[in-house]
Structure 1
Amino acid sequence: MAPQLIAPTVAVHASFLAAMDEFRADGAESAPHSTLAGELTTWHSRWPTAEGFAEYVELVGGVMSNTRADGVVPMTTRWWVDGDTYLGRCTFRHHLTPSLLNWGGHLGYGVRPGARRRGHATAILRAALPIAHHELGIDPVLVTCDDTNTGSRKVIEACGGIFEDQRDEKLRYWIPAATAAGQQPRRPV
């Protein structure tokens, strides 16, 4: 079976824990403005138990319905898995705040350190575009990366990213999701 983007599931518990250990060893807890960093800090002591992991899966598997006071917008999370092996994830932000428009974008994706440089990031982004278009109505999709992250820049460009500009340390790309999903693109509003 080929890897696929799926809703979070308890079926990948063991490999998820191993992946989080890899992220922690890679310094992910100290990444500024990272959802993963916050989750590593908040959930690391609860993930090992079946009950704690199930609670986490239920939380990230659902969709927040409103923008929170701290500016967090409604999000959908999908995990990139191969069978029962957790390889990475993609987070879809349903709309953009001024901060997300400048630095964060609609999509955030990450591949566990032990599975990097095998094409997973490109595959995640390619699989995410039809979900953004068909399920969430996001088109075009804004994806950003650090100006020093050559690998992520190449992933975005390989998936049809059209460079718009650089804001501070972030490169900003728009990807026409409908075109990636094999349909005619909508005009941006």
Structure 2
Amino acid sequence: MPQLTTPHVRFRASFADAMKEFEAEGRGAVGDDTSIGQDLRRWRRRWHDPAVFASYVAGLRAEADETIPMIRPGRVHCTTLWYVDGDTYLGRIAIRHSLTGWLREQGGHIGYDVRPTARRRGHATAMLRDALPVARNLGLAEVLVTCDHDNAGSRKVIEANGGVFEDRRGLKLRYWVATGAGQA
């Protein structure tokens, strides 16, 4: 049964395969400013080294620790969880603890990606559903989730999780999703 989990080195082989799938669809190219795009450009040639992958995983985990100052400009603390089935990496979801101006306009509190060979199976809907209590535990009563205006699949994922449309800003649709904070 697929579940969210903290990033761990045991998923290295499956994670690397997933990143190759993302790369094959054009992710990681110059101009891809998504988390996966940035990670591909920064790490893809080094993930094969177990020590480097361990450093990557440790960095993801450290980004969630609010007692550690963020060293990369423009970044906020972020809890990254991987969606796995056994030892198979299916995707990731990132829960940003706060919003910068850009995140408020474009990126939102939560971003998610499902590897291409695992899409259209309900994983993104389940990932977002399972991440909402994590966001609630971070003190977020509601989260901003955005998607490209032409991404019907992501729009359905957000709406299936109670997303309430606020507006469109440029190419992004913006939704607010209650996390259940304050509910009995």
TM-score exceeds 0.5: yes
- Residue 56 of structure 2 corresponds to 56
Q: 1:70 to 1:13 in 2, by over 3 A?
A: same
Structure 2 gap ranges (5+): none
In the alignment, residue 56 of structure 1 is paired with which amino acid?
Answer: Y
Instruction: From the superposition, tell whether residues 57 and 72 of structure 1 become closer, same or farther in structure 2 (CA, over 3 Å).
Output: same
C-alpha distance 19-97 of structure 1, shift in aligned 2 (>3 A): same
Cα distance in 2 for residues equivalent to 1:67 and 1:40: 20
State the partner residue of 1:98: 101
**Which piece of structure 1 moves more, 102-111 or 28-37?**
28-37
How far apart, in 1, do the equivalents of 2:183 and 2:118 lie?
Answer: 34
Residue type matched to 2:93 in 1?
C
Aligned to 2:160: 158
| Count of aligned pairs between the two proteins | 180
Query: C-alpha root-mean-square deviation of aligned residues, in Å?
Result: 1.5
Deviation at 1:139, TM superposition (A): 1.7
| 1:46/1:53 contact within 8 Å kept | yes
Shift of 1:68: 5.1
Say if 2:32 is the partner of 1:32.
yes
Superposed CA deviations along residues 135-176 of structure 1, whole A, max 9, x for unmatched, are x11121100000010000000000000000000000000001
Report percent identity of matched pairs: 52
Q: What per-residue deviation string (whole Å, max 9, x for no partner) do you get for residues 33-64 of structure 1?
A: 21111100110111111111111111112225
Unmatched 5+ stretches in structure 1? none
Paired residue for 1:130? 133
Amino acid aligned to 1:77: T
The offset of 1:32, in angstroms, is: 3.2
In the alignment, the residues of structure 2 paired with residue 149 and residue 99 of structure 1 have an alpha-carbon distance, to the nearest angstrom, of 20
> Secondary structure at 1:28's aligned position in 2?
coil
Quick one: distance in 2 between partners of 1:93 and 1:143?
Answer: 11
- Equivalent residue number for residue 7 of structure 1: 6
CA distance in 1, matches of 2:42, 2:183: 42
